[in-house]
Chains A and B, each alone.
Chain A
Amino acid sequence: MANVAGSLPDVVAGQAAKSVRGLARLRLITGYVLMLVSLVGLFGADWDIQWHAVIGRDRTFTPPHDMILASIGLAGIVALVSILVETRWAARTSELRRYGTDFLGILHSSLGSYLVGFGAVCSAVAFPLDTYWHSLYGVDVSLWAPFHTMIYMGGVLSTFGIIYMLLSAAHLAQEQQDRKTALFSYAGVVALLGMLLSKFSTFLTPAISGHALPLASLSVSLFPFLLALAAVFVCVLAARLLPWTGAATMAVVVYLLVWLLVSAFVHPMMTLLVQVEHQTYLARASRIGSNIVAMLGQTPFLLLLSLSIDGVAWLGRRGKWTLSRLKKWVFTASTISMFFVAGLTLVQIALSLRTGQSSGGGAGGHIGLAFLLALILTIPGSLIGGWLSLAISDTLQTLRR
């Protein structure tokens, strides 16, 4: 009798451990499905920017729009299903409740699922609003229009949701010593951070041409500031969230792989669809040439930034630096390397477009000064990006839900 009484808590604990392990795996699978869905949306968005630039916009349901809409719809559905499944599991095994977040006292799920759902709703709502905006202002609406921003940021929000979900899976798996699940979860986070960087870089495209900071007779490009903000944010986040040496570089490598995939995908799809739909190219298509507009702001030079951040993190780990010292050096390394990355990228873009306008050049022969001022803006960009990622990664590490 005493034996039975003694073993009962063990059995219950064993079942709970099994359930927690199952929960980690469920979050891992859901996270990977959502990541694929998000990748479809990313391809659709890059293709759509190219479509707008060289074809225009002749209806709401173009093939690239269909890809974006499918991605939004699927993300919403998968998030909803995952919330319902986790709620059911939590109802059956009360132990699981402490690994989820309560919503209205009815639903219990990972915080990430709610974020993905919110992002999907935002993007879905933005779609008809964007059609309305185009009906007012035409096809030449910039990527930085209110409802393009809403669609895009909805996608970014969803990506953060998936990162939360996979981190939670990794933490749960580590608690249960399920190494495989933890490994795949962290690998998913690396991939998502690479995709996030790709999304941010695409969204920066308008800063390359047109949107500049007027300063006396100069026109200073905002691109270096924004690139520094986005790139340092993602790279520091990778270095802080992942327990691996070289995490920031891994994220940048994924970002470059996405770059290659989009390069391989957009051109043939454009050619094919122009033929199938009997479309005609706009006059500016000849000026754009073989550039993929959405990727003008993307650059392999970001490896310089990620390597410097990873290098500092490695040195800090070896030398057992204090956290404040490590943060100081990460800020310094990222600011210096971003200065060079932004400079090289601006030169690369200028060469790619074969025009001096895109390099943030000002009027009246002040191109050099405008270029220098634009580069100086990388300093506040890097500092804000680094500070934001430190604040967010701290909460992410503490709240493991």
Chain B
Amino acid sequence: MRKAIQLFLCLLAVASLIVTGVAFYQIVLASTIHGAPVKFIDATAGPYSIKLALYNDPINAGDAIPFNIAVAPGTRGPLTYSVTASPGFGVPGSLAQGDVNPQQSTQYGVPGSITFVTRGPWTLNIVIHGPAGQGTAAIPITAVAPPAMPGWLAWNIGLLPVYGLLIFWVVQTRRKAVRSSEREKAERPVPAETMKGVS
């Protein structure tokens, strides 16, 4: 019985860690390891015409979302980029800062990534500085989330360490009681009548 519980706990821990690893992959590595873009958005940032390439559609809230920004051919001079996302009305989010790597360039433009923390409408603000001046493009984006987990289930999962600790203490207390009674039995003097039989 004890071994079966231990085996179950061990398998559960391994399975949970594998699922966690996959989730972390989605959150982090998916922004650098991905296939071809699945969606292109044309926009204008002041004097610059840009094409935004997205690798996800729909866009999952919470994941690092990779993108590329390509400026129309013929634009001269070095460009610098700044990408932020501001939450739409009623979205409980804060300003999100994106990462852009202007040193790298792919066939789809300069790569970058950003996280839309919460589901709902967002505005992706792309600011470009260059010899032709500064321009800002505001691109509306909607982030989606998986279906909501029921509160009772979430709380029961969330309280697993507390349940674990309580079960552990209950088991320890019972084991302590068993040990104490065993010790008491061992220390109890043998009755005289029993001793007569022995001699």
Q: Are B176 and A399 in contact (CB under 8 A)?
A: yes
Residue A124 at the B interface, CB < 8 A?
Answer: yes
Q: Are A58 and B10 in contact (CB under 8 A)?
A: no
CB distance from B151 to the nearest CB of A (A): 8
Question: Residue-by-residue, is A384-399 near B (CB-CB < 8 Å gives 1, otherwise 0)?
Answer: 0000000110110011
Residue B119 at the A interface, CB < 8 A?
Answer: yes
The residues in B between 151 and 189 inclusive whose CB is less than 8 angstroms from any CB of A are 151, 154-155, 157-162, 164-165, 168-169, 172-173, 175-176, 179-180
Interface size bracket, B side: 35 or more
Residue A157 at the B interface, CB < 8 A?
Answer: yes
Q: Are B164 and A118 in contact (CB under 8 A)?
A: yes
Residue B136 at the A interface, CB < 8 A?
Answer: no
Please, which residues of chain A bring their CB within 8 A of the CB of B179?
A: 398-399
Residue B79 at the A interface, CB < 8 A?
Answer: no
Contact of A125 among B7, B16, B143 (CB under 8 A): B16
CB distance from B17 to the nearest CB of A (A): 6
Q: Are A122 and B164 in contact (CB under 8 A)?
A: yes
Residue B72 at the A interface, CB < 8 A?
Answer: no
Residue B3 at the A interface, CB < 8 A?
Answer: yes
Question: Residue-by-residue, is B45-87 near A (CB-CB < 8 Å gives 1, otherwise 0)?
Answer: 0000000000000001110100000000000000000000000
CB distance from A64 to the nearest CB of B (A): 14
Q: Is the interface of A mostly helix, strand, loop or mixed?
A: helix
Q: Are B115 and A58 in contact (CB under 8 A)?
A: yes
Interface size bracket, A side: 35 or more
Q: How far is the CA of A146 from the CA of B161 in the complex (A)?
A: 11
Residue B101 at the A interface, CB < 8 A?
Answer: no
Contact of B165 among A103, A138, A157 (CB under 8 A): A157
Of A13-21, A34-42, A272-280, the one contacting chain B is: A272-280
Residue A264 at the B interface, CB < 8 A?
Answer: no
CB distance from A211 to the nearest CB of B (A): 14
Please, which residues of chain B bring their CB within 8 A of the CB of A77?
A: none
Residue A154 at the B interface, CB < 8 A?
Answer: yes
Q: Are A56 and B95 in contact (CB under 8 A)?
A: yes
A135-B62, A139-B93, A146-B155 are contacts. A118–B180 as well, Cβ < 8 Å?
no
Please, which residues of chain B bring their CB within 8 A of the CB of A136?
A: 61, 118-119, 145, 148
Q: List 16 A-B contacts (CB under 8 A).
A: A59-B115, A60-B115, A61-B28, A125-B17, A125-B19, A127-B20, A132-B149, A136-B61, A136-B148, A138-B117, A153-B158, A154-B161, A156-B165, A278-B97, A395-B172, A398-B176
Contacts A136-B119, A394-B176 supplied; 16 other A-B pairs, CB < 8 Å: A56-B94, A57-B117, A122-B161, A132-B149, A139-B93, A139-B118, A140-B92, A150-B158, A156-B161, A157-B165, A280-B95, A392-B169, A395-B175, A398-B176, A399-B176, A399-B179
